[in-house]
Amino acid sequence: MQYRKIEKTGDELSVLGFGAMRLPTRNGRTDEKRATEQIRYAIDHGVNFIDTALAYMNEQLVGRILSDGYREKVKIATKIPAWKVDKPDELEKTIHVQLDNFNTSYIDYYMLHGLTEPTWKKSLKLDALSFLDRMKTEGKIKNAGFSFHGGKDLFKEIIDAYDWDFCLIQYNYLDEEYQAGREGLEYAAAKGMGIFIMEPFRGGNLTGKIPSEVQDIWDKAPVKRTPAEWALRWVLNHPGVTCVLSGMNEEEHIKENLRIAEEGLPHSLTGEELELVGEARDKYRELMKTGCTGCQYCMPCPAGVDIPRCLQTYDSLHIFQENKIRSQAEYALGLGILHEGQAAYASKCVKCGKCEERCPQELPVMELLDDVSGEMEGVITKIAPALIRVWIVFDRFMIGRRANVPHG
């Protein structure tokens, strides 16, 4: 296993981290036996970083998997969701529940979950930065960070607002300019922060059904690699990357990723190989319906539409010929309560035209959003915001109940 050191914390972490977001399931439930075997296998083969979140609803399960001496072999990362918290004192109640979940006295890497413009504003209102300071002083967390889903400017604003130890960003060869992107990665790396990467395979898009035009590009490479290996090697090639989180749930993928993690040294791809990855990226972009690069210059939208995310979900449906119902469900879940608790769907566009004035690609954004709402919106999108809100209220109630149980 290859390890990379975080300048700020001194921790040496395996370049492959186990993302516990997509653990194996059986009959619709997490298969605890298989998940335990998989995670412990990865740890036995050098992985020393496990990432989860309160919102993944599996912290207790991860806590059980890390019993029998495994807790001491890894750094635990988890996240606190600002969207579920209304008052500053609920932050503290929530972390106590999380510590209980893991049956541990401290969390190694603790994050504000999924920061975007609204969740960042809300975190500031909740005084979450003082909360992080306090938790560090009390030894309940070792390192403070955040996971991120906004644009580049917001990313830099957040980086400059606090003495962060690390951040978790989306990064893969197709999304090099999307969200924080390469620019954000390098901005944070220059401060000595740990840089954790999520979605190296773009949720499986870059490794699942590969368009034949892209496969033709991989087939001409002098060294034969799987699409997963190209994607992972491309991320690991950047020396600023500390650890790549992969949501693994198949034994063969774990073994393959462990091997790639050995070999994917910084700057190990040749110029010719990087050109090939660039060719694959260009081909994917050609296959996209919208041509949106995710640069976020069109944001914010006064009507609350998350324009890049709407266009990206729509593109994924077409490039990767995804299942339409699944794409609609992802669209509904991802955009259902994004903008200050309101849906950020394409259909909310009021045709003010501001986004088109700002788009460097000169895209007909309003027309594209009409196409997106026509294909992506339906019954699921109508009921999703209400269902998500009910779930949040229920979950908050359960956290409150558990936080009020005296600690023994």
Site residues, ligand SF4 (CB under 6 A): 292-298, 301-303, 305, 307-308, 311, 349-355, 358-359, 361, 363, 365-366, 369
Nearest to ligand SF4 of 122, 152 (CB atom): 152
Q: Kindly state the smallest distance separating residue 117's Cβ from ligand SF4, in Å.
A: 14
Do the Cβ atoms of 125 and 88 come closer than 8 Å?
no
Q: Whole-number minimum distance, CB 366 to ligand SF4, in Å?
A: 5
Instruction: Give residue 203's region: left, alpha or beta (phi > 0; psi -120 to 50).
Output: left
How far is residue 320 from each of residues 130, 204, 327, measured CA to CA in Å?
43, 10, 11
Please state the closest distance from residue 357 (CB atom) to ligand SF4, in A: 9
Closer to ligand SF4 at the Cβ: 79 or 309? 309
Please provide residue 15's backbone torsions phi and psi, each rounded to the nearest 5 degrees.
-70, -15
DSSP state of 130: H
Which residues does residue 13 pair with via DSSP β-bridges, in sequence order? 4
Nearer to ligand SF4 among residue 261 and residue 359 (C-beta): 359
Report residue 378 as tokens. 């339906």
CB of 26 vs ligand SF4, minimal distance in Å: 39
Minimum CB distance to ligand SF4 smaller for 126 or for 295: 295
Complex with ligand SF4: residue 69 or 360, whichever CB lies closer: 360
Q: How far is the CB of 292 from ligand SF4 (least distance, A)?
A: 3
Shortest reach from residue 104's CB to ligand SF4, in Å: 40
Q: How far is the CB of 296 from ligand SF4 (least distance, A)?
A: 5
For ligand SF4, which is the closer residue by CB, 90 or 371? 371
Nearest-approach distance from CB 74 to ligand SF4, in angstroms: 37
Burial environment of residue 182 by CB neighbours within 10 A (0 to 12, 13 to 18, 19 or more): middle
**Non-local CB neighbours of 184 within 8 Å, separated by 6+ positions:** 148, 152, 155, 156, 159, 169
Say what angle helices 128-137 and 88-102 make with each other, to 10 degrees: 40
Angle at the Cα of 26 from the Cα atoms of 20 and 27, rounded to 5 degrees: 130
- Per the structure block, which two tokens stand in for 386? 């209400």
Residue 149 makes CB contacts below 8 A (sequence gap 6+) with: 114, 115, 116, 170, 179
Contact 235, 174 (CB under 8 A): no
- Judged by beta carbon, residue 4 or residue 309, the one nearer ligand SF4 is 309
Q: Enter the DSSP assignment of 55.
A: G
Of the pair 227, 291, the CB lying nearest ligand SF4 is at: 291
Minimum CB separation of residue 304 from ligand SF4 in Å reads 8
Task: Give the span between the Cα atoms of 398 and 101, in whole angstroms.
Answer: 13
Comparison of 59 and 315: residue with beta carbon closer to ligand SF4? 315
Listed residue (216, 203, 352) closest to 282, CA to CA: 216
**Can you point out the beta strands (E) in 116-220?**
141-148, 166-170, 194-198
